[in-house]
Amino acid sequence: MSQKNLVILIHGLHQAPFIMRPMAKCLQTQGFATHQFSYRSMRDGIKVNSQRLNAWLKVNHNPAKPFDLIGHSLGGLIIRDFIAHYPEWNIGRCVTLGTPHNGSVSGDYIWQLLPAIVGKSYEQALDGTVAPLPKGIELGVIAGNKAQGLGQPILAYHNRKLRKADVETPLEKLAHDGTVYISETKLDSASDHIILPVTHTGMLIDKNVAQQAIYFLIHGEFER
């Protein structure tokens, strides 16, 4: 049996590394070594946090060995920025959880009303301008469709605006996980995309989400 890669788990906005602990435990039971990467999502921008991940790897990881990456929400955008700007690393497979690859409507509203809430995480990340995914990277995207969470009032307001502008707005265009629209998670260059009945934060403790992430790391596709 071949040795599994180290998996680096990257939390989202307003979170801390411990939030990724349930996912890490599921990975560890399947033989993966894990590291919960810590970064300052408010004070520092995506470039600084990518640099810090690179610096951590230089000290703690053998560059000859591949590693996998799992990121929740903003953490998935850090993965994309890191991969684009540090191509020297041997990247295995990547999974993003509820990541707004195409920018965040809820992030836009908050940035306009109370920019301090999103801090430096907005520019070159939540605004939809993160670096493109390089060719050859296997990325699996997990989205949720359970519309509960702190961002729900904002997205409910935005959905009402969409309905007024277009009475035939398809339901799939309105679906979200309470913070991020499913449409925002879609990335043409991704290897696979799956929608699960979870909220934006709830996906971090959902065993099916963890199992699907593990399946992708092993097989390069989600289990169906």
Is the distance from CB of 215 to CB of 223 less than 8 angstroms? yes
**Cα–Cα nearest to 139, from 211, 61, 186, 192:** 192
What number does CATH give the domain 6-219? 3.40.50.1820
Q: Which residue has the higher pLDDT, 177 or 169?
A: 177
Q: How far apart are CA 88 and CA 192, in angstroms?
A: 24
**In this predicted model, what pLDDT tens digit does every residue of 52-69 receive, in sequence order?**
999 999 999 999 999 999
pTM for this entry: 0.91
Q: Which of 69-73, 118-122, 157-161 has the lowest mean pLDDT?
A: 157-161
Is the distance from CB of 86 to CB of 79 less than 8 angstroms? no
**In this predicted model, what pLDDT tens digit does every residue of 75-101 receive, in sequence order?**
999 999 999 999 999 999 999 999 999
Mean pLDDT across the stretch 126-142?
A: 93
Mean pLDDT across the stretch 184-203?
A: 96
Residue 169 pLDDT class (50, 70, 90 cuts): low
pLDDT of amino acid 127: 86
Domain coordinates in residue numbering, the chain: 6-219
3-state secondary structure of 176: strand
Residue 171 pLDDT class (50, 70, 90 cuts): low
Whole-number percent of the chain with pLDDT over 70: 94
Q: Which of 3-12, 26-35, 170-179, 188-197 has the lowest mean pLDDT?
A: 170-179
Mean pLDDT across the stretch 108-130?
A: 78
Walk across the sheet containing 33-37 and list its strands.
33-37, 6-10, 67-72, 91-97, 138-144, 192-196
Degrees to nearest 5, angle at CA 45 with 100 and 143? 15
Amino acid identity for residue 128 in this structure: G
pLDDT of amino acid 125: 81
